[in-house]
């Protein structure tokens, strides 16, 4: 079988990115609250930022085509859709360029990497996309000018939540390995964590006074299952909370839409940031422990190698001293 040419490989990857963005966009549309187009959780934004971080800038056409296919059926006009799709590309590309300049590592093994992903990727880049998209809708007449800030806020926070919950998970995929020889107790703990996460997420989405119940579970997930466990729990909690807010369930039903989204997005951002930061700190601790153990092993090996030589050197030195003393004693007797 002949190997793929670089051009064919590029086209296939762009097609895969397009499909991934389109599927993520269709999921986000299910929660749309403004024009059936703007969602408080937009997973496609997380895909858009993960693509340049994992694959490079040259696959940006996949993001553009995915955004175009997602928005073309929603309108309002082709020019506006093109502007929105361009904004969906420009925002993550700018965020990636800044993060690359600041030497952010995809592994998120350092706390500064996690902080910069939140500040630059989840806050900065998404603000560009939200501003361009909302501005295009206002200029086209699909939105009134007085609705600009409220719509831009929902758009921005929805994209930010997509980056905060989806991008870190996608960045972990190159390190994913199928677990082998996992004990039954470990599987039981994972099942128990899943049950607790679902339970606390449902309670948090319906009872605002019980929101704090989620955080002990996040701590459990970060300490025992590291980044993958904590980020999956964060995604589950945020999804249930947004679903409850959109449907007006529980305490959220007593607020109007803007206040409801403000409460939910502040809470979800806190959950996502806590999960990402705490799991990264735990990973840093594990790496530091491993480095100390490796350094101790190397020192022990060096000591084991030096000790026999040092003992031989001491024996030779002692023998030379004995011989020198014997020679001195012999000379003294001869006198």
CA 264 to chain CA centroid, Å, is 20
Among residues 173, 201, 228, which one ends one of the domains? 173
Mark whether 193 and 216 lie in a shared domain. Answer: yes
The pLDDT value given to residue 250: 61
In a domain, 178, yes or no: no
Mark whether 197 and 309 lie in a shared domain. Answer: yes
Q: Which residues of the chain have pLDDT under 70?
A: 1, 34-37, 208-209, 248-258, 306-335
In a domain, 286, yes or no: yes
In a domain, 334, yes or no: no
Entry pTM: 0.80
Domain count, the chain: 2
Mark whether 25 and 151 lie in a shared domain. Answer: yes
Compute the distance between CA of residue 265 and CA of residue 152 in angstroms, rounded to an integer. Answer: 14
The pLDDT value given to residue 49: 93
Cβ neighbours for 312, distance < 8 A, ≥ 6 positions apart: none
Decide: 161 and 269 in contact? Cβ < 8 Å. Answer: yes
3-state secondary structure of 309: helix
Compute the distance between CA of residue 166 and CA of residue 226 in angstroms, rounded to an integer. Answer: 16
In a domain, 132, yes or no: yes
Mark whether 58 and 197 lie in a shared domain. Answer: no
In a domain, 291, yes or no: yes
Buried b / exposed e across 249-270, counting CB within 10 Å, b at 16+? bbbbeebebeebbebbbebbbe
Mark whether 148 and 198 lie in a shared domain. Answer: no
Residue with token string 């939105």: 143
The pLDDT value given to residue 317: 62
The pLDDT value given to residue 51: 93
């Amino acid at each position: 079988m002949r190997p793929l040419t670089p051009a064919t490989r590029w086209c296939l990857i762009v097609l895969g990115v397009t499909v991934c963005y389109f599927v993520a966009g269709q999921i986000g549309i299910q929660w749309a609250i403004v024009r059936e187009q703007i969602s408080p959780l937009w997973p496609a934004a997380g895909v858009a930022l993960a693509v340049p971080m994992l694959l490079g800038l040259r696959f940006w056409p996949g993001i553009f085509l995915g955004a175009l296919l997602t928005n073309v059926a929603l309108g309002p006009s082709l020019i506006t859709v093109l502007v929105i799709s361009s904004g969906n590309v420009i925002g993550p590309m700018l965020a990636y360029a800044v993060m690359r300049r600041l030497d952010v590592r995809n592994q998120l093994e350092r706390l500064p990497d996690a902080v910069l992903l939140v500040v630059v990727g989840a806050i900065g880049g998404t603000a560009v996309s939200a501003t361009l998209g909302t501005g295009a809708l206002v200029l086209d007449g699909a939105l009134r000018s007085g609705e600009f800030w409220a719509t831009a806020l929902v758009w921005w926070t929805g994209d930010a939540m997509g980056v905060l919950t989806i991008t870190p998970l996608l960045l972990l995929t190159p390190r994913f390995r199928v677990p082998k020889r996992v004990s039954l107790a470990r599987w039981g703990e994972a099942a128990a964590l899943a049950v607790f996460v679902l339970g606390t997420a449902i309670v948090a989405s319906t009872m605002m006074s019980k929101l704090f119940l989620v955080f002990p579970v996040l701590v459990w997930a970060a300490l025992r299952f590291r980044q993958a466990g904590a980020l999956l729990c964060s995604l589950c909690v945020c999804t249930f909370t947004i679903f409850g807010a959109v449907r007006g369930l529980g305490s959220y039903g007593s607020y109007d839409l803007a206040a409801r989204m403000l409460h939910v997005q502040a809470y979800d951002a806190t959950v996502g940031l806590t999960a990402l930061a705490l799991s990264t700190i735990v990973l840093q601790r594990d790496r530091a422990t491993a480095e100390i153990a490796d350094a101790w092993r190397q020192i022990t090996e060096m000591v084991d190698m030096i000790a026999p030589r040092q003992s031989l050197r001491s024996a030779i030195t002692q023998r030379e001293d004995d011989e020198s003393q014997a020679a001195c004693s012999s000379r003294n007797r001869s006198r």
